Structure 1
Amino acid sequence: MAEHTTAPEPAEQAPVEDDGSPDMAAEVLRHAQDMTDDIFRHGPEAAGDVKAHVQDMTGDVLHHSRVAAGDVKRETPVLIGHFWETLGDLFGSGKDESEKADASDEASDDGTKD
Structure 2
Amino acid sequence: MKLEFSIYRYNPDVDDAPHMQDYTLEAEEGRDMMLLDALIQLKEKDPSLSFRRSCREGVCGSDGLNMNGKNGLACITPISALNQPGKKIVIRPLPGLPVIRDFGGGHGAILCTI
TM (normalized to structure 1)? 0.17
**Relative to total residues, which structure has the larger strand share, 1 or 2?**
2
- Higher fraction of helix: 1
Scaled by the length of structure 2, what TM-score is found? Answer: 0.17
Q: Report which structure shows greater RCO (CA 8 Å, sep ≥6).
A: 2
